[in-house]
Amino acid sequence: MENKIVRLDRKEIFNGKRVKLVIDKLKMPTGKEVEWELITHPGAAAIIPVDADGNIIMVRQYRNAADDYVLEIPAGGLEPGEEPFLCASRELEEETGYKSNDIEFLFKFYSSIGITDEIISIYVATNLEKSVQNLDEDEYVTIEKYKLDDLIQMIYAGELTDNKTISALLAYKVKLDK
């Protein structure tokens, strides 16, 4: 391919609990060599829990990037070797205290393709059964229920700011409207 970019080298700068920062040396189609920074991430899964009344079960939790509590759909990072479906199912129960045997894949996307290779898979859970919330030791989560149309209005009012939540809810709305 004429416009092929080739990775010549990868240097790890930082290795944290959840992410790595690397600098890739790339050879551009012109022959010029450049360096690009990249945050590598194992991936994540998120889930839209829909109760019997059609309410979406949301979680509100502290997010350091926002330095505030943020309303989101339940989500979490993939454990080593874990499939996104299993991660979504696990996070549903851990964060909300509900479980489901009726989980459907909706879509997947790069969370911020310009700076990270993280891919988030989105699922929808219906026919929820009450279980037990089992939060990680560093999580403080409150549960809130909303109608989908109210959440869509919150997106356009700037009240929902989490990308995965916005993307997931809009895709789910389109799916339902078809």
Domain 44-177: which topology?
Answer: Nucleoside Triphosphate Pyrophosphohydrolase (3.90.79)
Higher pLDDT, 9 or 18: 9
Has residue 1 got a pLDDT over 70?
no
* Residues annotated as catalytic (active site), given as ranges: 137
Has residue 87 got a pLDDT over 80?
yes
When pLDDT is cut at 50, 70 and 90, the band that residue 84 belongs to is very high
pLDDT value of position 140: 84
What share of the chain in percent tops pLDDT 90? 92
Contact present, 168 and 46 (Cβ < 8 Å): yes
Residues in the chain: 178
When pLDDT is cut at 50, 70 and 90, the band that residue 81 belongs to is very high
pLDDT value of position 154: 98
List the chain domain ranges: 6-40, 44-177
Contact present, 116 and 41 (Cβ < 8 Å): yes
User: How many other β-carbons are positioned within 10 Å of the β-carbon of residue 5?
Assistant: 12
Q: How far is CA 142 from each of CA 12, 69, 97, 132, rounded to the nearest angstrom?
A: 37, 10, 11, 14
pLDDT value of position 42: 97
Round the average pLDDT of the chain to a whole number and report it.
95
Closest residue by Cα to residue 146 from 175, 169, 120: 169
